[in-house]
Amino acid sequence: MRITANGLNIHLEVRGTGKPVVCLHGFSENLGTWDDIDLAGFRLILVDLPGHGSTEKSSALQPYRLPTLLETLHDLTQQLELVQYSVMGYSMGGRIALAYALQYPWEIAKLIMESASYGECGEHSREKRRRDDAVLAEDIRQNGIEWFESYWSGLELFKTQARLPETVRAQIRQRRLQNEPYALANTLLASGQGTFPCLKDRVAELTMPVLFISGKLDSKYQKIGREFSHLNARIIRQTISGAGHNTHLEDPQTFRAVVSEFLNA
């Protein structure tokens, strides 16, 4: 399905029936990352974010900036005539989901963040991250998508994915290779963690039920999850044993069970 939202051609898929859940993938991924996730009684609205998958890949920076991105997603939900719906996001998609829930709280039934942060905080850390993102963006432009895929899959963050079946790893690789270097670069420059606002002080504003999922083998996001629960006592934390950063790919069965229990509560 394709919908023009906020002037951008968006690709999405709708799976299942029931209460709507808008699902947002991570950086360099696409909606195919949710292929093994089905939730009985819920209608999953899987979105290719701007610059990813089969959604329009603008050469301009503006469509990738967070305010524009949030407007685009909201326009999409309005065209789909969603009134009350949940939002679920993984990694970069989880950051966007958090920002979206803070901007449109009256519409969000429940929020699910998987291995997501509230953005980089502290001007020194933010400036360093902006520089790092700019360097990576230029490297992607200069070296191409094959180089990026090899670099990205080799990050320490994804080391636990080496244990996945070869077929699953091949699917992840193929999704990454479908990207355009300039679109990934634009994403980093316009809405990377150094540019993305620090939302730490706003986490306490969340009033809807919130679930934070992380893998036990992902120490960085285990720590972030603990910080989220300290910032807002209403946030429910769930740890998936034996999984790293991408819990919905590394243990889809447990992920489905955890999310279903939360959504049905």
What residues does 6 pair with on adjacent strands? none
CA torsion, ordered 91, 206, 6, 121, to nearest 10 deg: -50
* pLDDT reported for residue 43: 98
Confidence (pLDDT) at 80: 97
The confidence score (pLDDT) of residue 145 equals 97
Measured distance CA(29)–CA(55) in Å, rounded: 12
* Res 242: pLDDT: 93
pLDDT the model gives residue 25:
98
Q: How far is CA 110 from CA 82, 97, 106, 196, 207, in A?
A: 14, 11, 11, 22, 9
Other Cβ atoms less than 10 A from the Cβ of 192: the count is 23
What per-residue confidence (pLDDT) applies to 7? Answer: 95
Question: 57: helix, coil or strand?
Answer: coil
pLDDT for the residue 124: 94
Per DSSP, 41 falls in state T
Cα–Cα distance, 242 to 199 (Å, whole number)? 29
- Provide the pLDDT for residue 72: 98
Tokens at 65, concatenated: 């900036």
What contacts 136, CB < 8 A, 6 or more positions away? Answer: 188
Domain ranges (residues) in the chain: 2-121+198-264
pLDDT score, position 175? 97
- What integer pLDDT is reported at residue 210 of this predicted model? 98
CATH class for the domain made up of 2-121+198-264: alpha beta
pTM over the 0.85 mark:
yes
CA–CA separation, 40 vs 16, rounded Å?
7
Going from the first residue of the chain to its last (265 residues), give the mean pLDDT of each consecutive group of 10, the final group possibly shorter: 97 97 98 96 98 96 97 98 97 98 98 96 94 97 97 95 94 96 98 93 97 97 95 96 96 97 96
Helices then strands, counting H and E runs in the chain, come out as 9, 8
